[in-house]
Amino acid sequence: GILNEKMGLTEPEAFRWIQKASMDRRLTMQDVAQAIIDQFSTKKAD
C-alpha cells in the first residue's frame, strides 16, 4: 500500500496510523484513507 511504500510501515502499523489519524482529526478511517490516496494520486499526475 501507499503507507508501506512512502512511510516504510508494515500493514499493521499502517492500519494503526490511519486509526490514530482518524481519531486525532475526528474523521472516519475511510476519510483518512481517501485523503492519503487523493494526495498521492495527485502528486503522480503532476
Domain definitions of the chain by residue range: 2-45
Output the pLDDT for position 29: 98
CATH of 2-45 given 1.10.3720.10, 3.30.420.130, 1.10.10.10, 3.90.79.10: 1.10.10.10
Output the pLDDT for position 9: 97
DSSP single-letter state for residue 22:
H
| All three cell numbers of 26 | 475526528
33 neighbors 27 (Cβ within 8 angstroms): no
Q: Give 33's contacts (C-beta < 8 A, 6+ positions apart).
A: 18
pTM for the full predicted model: 0.81
pLDDT tens-digit readout, 1-46: 999 999 999 999 999 999 999 999 999 999 999 999 999 987 655 5
